[in-house]
Each structure stands twice: as C-alpha cells, then as structure tokens.
A and B are shown apart, each in its own frame.
Chain A
Amino acid sequence: MVVGVARYLGARLAERLSAEASVDRVVGVDLVEPTQSIGGAEFVRADIRTSDIGRAIDRVAPDTVVHMNILATRADAGGRTPQKEINVIGTMQLLAACQRSRSVRKVVVKSSTTVYGSGPQSPALFAEDMVAGAHSRRGYEKDAGEVEAYVRGFSRRRPDVGVTILRFANVLGPQIRTGLTDYFMLPVVPVVLGRDPRFQLVHELDCIEALRLATVEHRPGIFNVAGDGFLVLSQALRRAGRPGLPLPTLNTPFVGGVLKRAGIVDMDSALVRFLTYGRGVETTRMRTQLKFDPVFSTVATFDAFADERTRGGLLDRDRIRTVEHAVRNILTGEDTRGR
C-alpha cells in the first residue's frame, strides 16, 4: 500500500511496484485521484488525517505500508496549517492504523534530511544518529522531526514490524516539481548575500528505486539517501544559466511576500535556512546496509534537471562557452573548440 499516491513520486512508485513480479497487489491511497498513471495499482480514496485511513487499511489488509504523504512545501497542502495537519496528524492516524492491523509486517517512511536542520553549528556531514534536539526548529523541519518521533514510537510498540526510514536529500529531476525546482526556474534567482551553501541531491529515479528496494527487500533502519558529491549554490545557478540576485536575507516579509504573492515560489523558513547554511549527510550506511548505489551523482542530477527545465536562461552555458572560445581564440590565435 502506497500512501500519498496522487503526487508525482507516489504515483511513480505505485507504477513501478505494480510491475514487480514479487508484488501481488499494489493499492495507492490519497485524498484526490492521481492525475498521473499509477500502472496496475488500484486507487483507494481515503483522508489520511481521519480514521478513514484505518478503515482503508482494515479493508485492504496490506503487508507493507509505504508512507509518502509528508509534504515539504506548504503550497502543496494549501497553507502551513493544513501542511502540518497532513504531516503530523496524518502520520499519527496512519501509524495508529498500522499498529492495530494484524496484516502489516513492514512500514517504509519517506523522510528527509531536513530533520537535521541546518545552521552555523551543523557539522559538515550528518550521520544517521546525529539528529539534534528539536530546539529552534520551525515549519517543515519541525514536522519532519515529529513524524520521525512518531515512527520511532511505533517501532517500539510494534517491534515485530520492520521499519525503514529513508531520509532523502532534496529530490530533483526532469519531471518532479518541488519548492527547489520552482526556485531554480526563476529567471533571476534570489540568493543570500555572502552565502554559498553546499548541498546534495537525489535524482527522482534514484528516489523511486531506493523506495522500491526498501519496500521489496527487508532493510530495517534509518538511512540517509543522497547522490555522490556536492554542489554549491553559485555553481548550480551557473549550470542552470541563471543569474543570482544577492539579497541581505531571504527571510524578510518583503522578499518572501513578493515571491509568494506573485505565485512564483513559496519559500518557508526551512528552505531559507537551507539556502543560507546548506547541508551535507553521510551516506556510508546507505551503501553498506541499505545496499543502494544511486545511479546519478548530485551534479548529474542537477544537470538532468537543468537540461530539461532551465534551458535558455540569461547566462546560458552555451553562450558563456561561445564567448570563452572567442576570447581564447584571441589570446592563442588557434581554434580551442574540441580541446
């Protein structure tokens, strides 16, 4: 059972799982009908915030539940209040239903590296056991932490159920739409003055594959999932051919408000902190215990996204290269193309 099937990753996972030979039946649950293909999966309408979800679980009697209904952007939920309700109350309802169910043997939760937060005191690389206290956290960072706390509580009460928490770095790719994709697609991208955060990415296909692996195989535990290598923001913007606009802060009501009201991008405090301080996670456990090797590195993920979605920006890389070659021709008097 895939909970949160109406959104892009949920639909793709349901489609992928229904093609799997070892899986007999895939049921996708969400409040609204998925607009994208979910393959051979059945759709069941249920509201995760109510006991609806418990009745759905009783009826379907799944052995594995994949919880993908944790929303990172408040715009997806229609505001901060519904976002929090879906994330926190939804997780409580879902886990309560799983706890009561006799059929559920495995729970997979799509969490995020946002649980680590980001700030000046963050170590360069967070390992799985380094989740800081919940102090000073707001918005989605707080939700992500609370969701995991409920999941830990659940695994204490039902030690017979295998629980896998996958903490994904930001997911990007040619198809998916997130707060970060909207941000990179702005014609001029606001950045924090004097800050060049570094970050990791996961390709949408790698994300689905990691979730599939955790669903089909038995790999209980908590795992960070991120592609190899790092990007810094300035580098990403240049790869996307987008000029950055340095502002003293992105947190002012003015900047955030203008961007939000114009319907361009909705930056919440967690995203702003991420774009100020960046974040890095350790992925050794992903390789050794989850036995998952992402196909796409962070840079390859970004390029896959940029090639599809940000072509023809003001500072497009092809234009820069043409200028570079012209200048180098002047300097050396030979054709540098093809070097």
Chain B
Amino acid sequence: MADSPLPGLLDRVASAAGRVLRDHLGVDGERLDQLVAFAGRRLTGEFEVDPFGFDPELTETVLLPLLRPLYQHWFRVEVRGIENVPETGAALVAANHSGTLPLDSLMTQLAVHDTHPKTRHLRALGATLVFQLPVVADLARKSGTTLACNEDVEALLGSGELVGVWPEGFKGVGKPFSQRYKLQRFGRGGFVSAALRTKAPIIPCSIVGAEEIYPMIGNAESLARLLGLPYFPLTPTFPWLGPLGLVPLPSKWIIEFGEPIRTDDYPPGAADDPMVVFELTDQVRDTIQATLIELLELRGPAFG
C-alpha cells in the first residue's frame, strides 16, 4: 500500500478533518483514539485469551463497564472487608448464592475488580448449564468464568488466581423468596478439597441484597422440565410483564469479604478426608450465615 497515492491523500484529508473535529467541535481525541485503537485490535484479532478463554482486555473495556451502572446506581453496592482478599497469590472466595438469576456473581466480580488495590479479577466458577447456553457460555468464558469442576479449580488456584465459588449452586439461586437469607446445603464440599489440595485460603463472602432482585414466588416446574432448566421462576413481574419483568428490583446491596480461613496447616491427604472437608465446609457456611444476619440488621429496609 505504501507506493499507492491513496493513503497519502487519505492521511491529508484525515488530519484536516481531525483539526475540525478537535478545534471546532471539542471532541476528546485521545479517548476516542484509544477506543479506535481498541476496535482495531479487536478487528484484526490482536488480543490474547488464557487457557480458560479469559479475555482481560474485552472484560475491562466492554463487559465490566456495561455492568458498572447497575452496580453503582441501581444496587448501590457497598463493599466491606476487601483487605481480606490477598494482594497476590491464590485464594478461594466462597459466597452465598441467590436472586433467581445469578447477578450476584457478576456483581462480586465487579466489586473485587473495582475496590481491590491491585484490581484483581475474580475467576468465577459456573454450572454446566452456563456452558450449554449459547452467548452465555461465550460471555462467561471471556469474562474469566470456567466450569465448576475439580480440574479447573485446581488449575486456576495452582496458577495463583483468585477464584470465586457459589457452593449452593441452583439450590441457592433458585430458592423461593420465603427462604431468603437461609443458606442451602454447600454441595459435597468439592471447593474445600480443592483449596486444601492447593493450600489456598478460603475467604467467606456474604452478599446481602441479591435475594430481593427477583423475588421468586412460584416455580413452573413442568415448564422448567420442558425447557431443560433447573427451575422456571415466577416473580411478581415475570413473566407477566414480558421483557419488562426482567428488570431487577433496585435493592440495596452489601458485599462483605470475611477473614481468610487458612488451609495450609492441614496434614497431606486432608483433602480426601471427609471429616476435615465437612468440618471446613460447615465453618465457611456458618461464618457466611452469621455475617448475613449482621449485615441484614445493618442494611435496614431492602429498598431504602
């Protein structure tokens, strides 16, 4: 292209147009320039993803900014205890799960990124269903989520990542509104075994506010079975108001990271000892449950 006269002409036209834009219209060139450079990198495929499909550039430039208004203005998320999340090295954040749609995991990811001094990325673990759905699977991988299986958790913790797990799974997310802030069973404690095996500390994380976003007052079980979903929620607004019913209620959120529970002073083989695993699982669960009750007092009315 260098010896064709076209680019030279283009350049001259371009810089003239640029002067007009800058001097007369007051457009912030630098910011736009960065965006165009970003678009250029995306369109030519000059970016990197890690083995789990995590695309940090896309996450920081597009995905997190899309969630930020919801986080700041709608849910008014307050973060406590971020100093309990280590600056470097592996750690496993275990949190309660609620809200019919798992917005709590997205908000926790954003909370860690925006308030942590090292802007760490929380690598979330998702259910198989997440990876069966088109678009959702794709966005999940790109934002750093991977399948909640032992191999992936241990690989992530082994490479010093900060991993987020919601051990209640669908039992937590899809529980009826009447059960709000009552923790469900914490699975088989697979996350505790993984933490023990990699000697990563477990950080109990309590999320208040997600329970009220889509109060689930009913479950159309036969419809859920038909669609192959774990539940089909009926809320005061969904599905009655159609797409409008998908707008979450603007509850006030508090996310608190508790003190890390160390796992590095257990004897080898503890990860396969069901007694140790269940004990630790209960300890994490009780800590979160107790903190939830405290935080609920502190928050006061849900929509205040």
Interface residues of A (CB under 8 A from B): 120-125, 127, 130, 192-196, 198, 229-232, 234-239, 277-278, 280, 282, 315, 317-318, 320-322, 324-336
Task: Using CB atoms, name the residue of chain B closest to A192.
Answer: B134
Q: List 17 A-B contacts (CB under 8 A).
A: A125-B151, A130-B151, A230-B50, A231-B49, A238-B43, A315-B43, A317-B44, A320-B43, A320-B44, A321-B44, A324-B43, A325-B7, A326-B7, A328-B37, A329-B14, A330-B18, A332-B30
Task: Contact check, B39 vs A324: say whether CB atoms are below 8 A apart.
Answer: yes
Task: Contact check, A331 vs B18: say whether CB atoms are below 8 A apart.
Answer: yes
Verify if B51 is at the interface (C-beta below 8 Å from A): yes
Q: Using Cβ atoms and an 8 Å threshold, which residues of chain A touch B50?
A: 230
- With contacts A198-B49, A198-B141, A327-B36 known, is A124 near B147, CB below 8 A? yes
Task: Contact check, A239 vs B134: say whether CB atoms are below 8 A apart.
Answer: no
Q: Which 9 A-B pairs give the minimum distances between C-beta atoms?
A: A194-B134, A194-B135, A238-B45, A324-B40, A329-B14, A120-B131, A123-B151, A235-B45, A239-B45
Secondary structure dominating the interface of B: helix
Task: Contact check, A320 vs B40: say whether CB atoms are below 8 A apart.
Answer: yes
- With contacts A318-B1, A326-B10, A333-B15 known, is A125 near B155, CB below 8 A? yes
| From B29, B51, B134, B155, contact of A195 by CB (8 A) | B134
A154 to B136, CA, bound (A): 44
Q: Using Cβ atoms and an 8 Å threshold, which residues of chain B touch A239?
A: 44-45
Task: Contact check, B11 vs A236: say whether CB atoms are below 8 A apart.
Answer: no
Identify which of residues 140-171 in chain B touch chain A, using a CB-to-CB cut-off of 8 Å.
141-142, 146-147, 149, 151-152, 155
Task: Contact check, B48 vs A229: say whether CB atoms are below 8 A apart.
Answer: yes
A333 to B27, CA, bound (A): 12
Q: What is the number of residues of chain B that contact chain A, defined by CB distance less than 8 Å?
A: 49
Verify if B132 is at the interface (C-beta below 8 Å from A): yes
- With contacts A321-B40, A329-B15, A330-B18 known, is A124 near B152, CB below 8 A? yes
Task: Contact check, A125 vs B51: say whether CB atoms are below 8 A apart.
Answer: yes
Q: Using Cβ atoms and an 8 Å threshold, which residues of chain A touch B136?
A: 194
CB distance from A241 to the nearest CB of B (A): 9
Verify if B33 is at the interface (C-beta below 8 Å from A): yes
Task: Contact check, B151 vs A326: say whether CB atoms are below 8 A apart.
Answer: no
Task: Using CB atoms, name the residue of chain B closest to A282.
Answer: B155
- With contacts A329-B11, A330-B21, A333-B18 known, is A124 near B36, CB below 8 A? no
Identify which of residues 28-62 in chain B touch chain A, using a CB-to-CB cut-off of 8 Å.
29-30, 32-33, 36-37, 39-40, 42-45, 47-53, 55
Task: Using CB atoms, name the residue of chain A closest to B47.
Answer: A235
Task: Contact check, A332 vs B49: say whether CB atoms are below 8 A apart.
Answer: no
CB distance from A333 to the nearest CB of B (A): 4
Q: Using Cβ atoms and an 8 Å threshold, which residues of chain B touch A236?
A: 45
CB distance from A280 to the nearest CB of B (A): 5
Verify if B19 is at the interface (C-beta below 8 Å from A): yes
Task: Using CB atoms, name the residue of chain A closest to B149.
Answer: A123
CB distance from A219 to the nearest CB of B (A): 24
Task: Contact check, B151 vs A334: say whether CB atoms are below 8 A apart.
Answer: no
Task: Contact check, B45 vs A331: say whether CB atoms are below 8 A apart.
Answer: no
Q: Using Cβ atoms and an 8 Å threshold, which residues of chain A touch B298?
A: none
Q: Using Cβ atoms and an 8 Å threshold, which residues of chain A touch B32?
A: 331
Task: Contact check, B147 vs A122: say whether CB atoms are below 8 A apart.
Answer: yes
Task: Using CB atoms, name the residue of chain B closest to A319.
Answer: B1
Q: Using Cβ atoms and an 8 Å threshold, which residues of chain A touch B51?
A: 124-125, 198, 230, 280
Task: Using CB atoms, name the residue of chain A closest to B42.
Answer: A238
CB distance from A244 to the nearest CB of B (A): 12
| From B1, B15, B128, contact of A120 by CB (8 A) | B128
Q: Beyond A324-B37, A330-B17, list 13 extra A-B contacts (CB 8 Å).
A: A124-B146, A124-B151, A235-B47, A238-B42, A238-B44, A239-B45, A278-B53, A321-B44, A324-B43, A326-B11, A332-B18, A332-B30, A335-B15
Verify if B137 is at the interface (C-beta below 8 Å from A): yes
Verify if B225 is at the interface (C-beta below 8 Å from A): no
Verify if B138 is at the interface (C-beta below 8 Å from A): yes
